[in-house]
Amino acid sequence: MAASATTEDTELSKQYDTPLGLAHDTVQALKDRIKTHYDLASEYYLNLWGTHIHHGYWPTPESKASETKEQAQINLINLLLETSQAEKGAKVLDVGCGIGGTSRYLASVLGCTVTGITISTTQVEMAVRLTKEEAAKDDKSMTGQEPDADGFLHIGKGKVKFLELDAEKMGNVFASQSESFDTVWICEALSHFPNKALFFANVRKVLKSGGKLALADWFKAEGLDEKQFAEDIKPIEDGMLLPPLCTQADYVSLAKEAGLPISGGPTDISMDVKATWDISWSLVQSPSLWAFAFSQGRDGIAFLQAFRAMRRGYTHGTFKYAVMAFQK
């Protein structure tokens, strides 16, 4: 089956218990650690997981039996497009864009004009490089292209640019430039943000009237007891450098308070994405990756061990995944 992988722990992974990452002393310290993590690890992500650094979605028994993780990742993008009713040719802000996989898809396939933002310097550099490579592969005349006057690289039917920017500052930055968007897109990034209420307030600032927020993320389940939280959720928060995880209802409430009523979902797809972590756990059983993680100290090892906690959380129903959309 394309969506399955061995569930056996290797001898390599058994060498390490699940050490908790270091405490986040301040919000800035957490942001600095997140930036450092992605600056150091993004090339490994690319080699192991591809250009789309997010879950795969296998919605049917047939897809679970036959579809690759790459197709499953596109399935997730398409589900979020359907949930949000984001339109072709839209002007999109991709928040936490990673190495630009989704930005490029929205631009090249749907003709969108996409601005991708990330806190990582390395991810911006990689996103630009990969965009140029993909554009040149599709159209030889694009080989060696430089950004246009507005900083965009053209790819397929659309165009994209990437900025290093702390998402908590995006409201003021784009407002100062009198720039607004048809769609704000965020996939598996909001869980990293310490101030989620500020994110929703910023989204309302940068969206045009009638604009849409398309959101996919990880959540803790409602009503967990102390044991469930300690065993399944705390290792994920520590290993993935997350402030306290929210529930799906928390996001809906925060968005509503910011003036963004829900327009799609939330749709819980936990059981249709959980194979991501079986595949991931198999892929990370690479001695070179564990050596790299060990060189990064407790954070590095805790990150890889969080993969095991995610698999356990999905199995126990304590860890959730959902897509949802909001409209200004």
Task: Note the pLDDT tens digit of each residue in 255-271.
Answer: 999 999 999 999 999 99
Is the model's pLDDT at 91 over the cut of 90?
yes
In a domain, 90, yes or no: yes
Q: Give me the DSSP letters along 155-181.
A: ETTEEEEEEE--GGGHHHHHHHTT--E
Whether 93 contacts 165, CB under 8 Å: no
In a domain, 5, yes or no: no
CATH, residue 238: 3.40.50.150
Is the model's pLDDT at 41 over the cut of 70?
no
In a domain, 105, yes or no: yes
Whether 3 contacts 279, CB under 8 Å: yes
Whole-angstrom CA distances from 146 to 123, 139, 310 are 18, 14, 41
Q: What is the pTM of this model?
A: 0.87
In a domain, 3, yes or no: no
Domains of the chain: total? 1
Q: Residue 295: give the domain boundaries.
A: 11-327
Is the model's pLDDT at 117 over the cut of 90?
yes
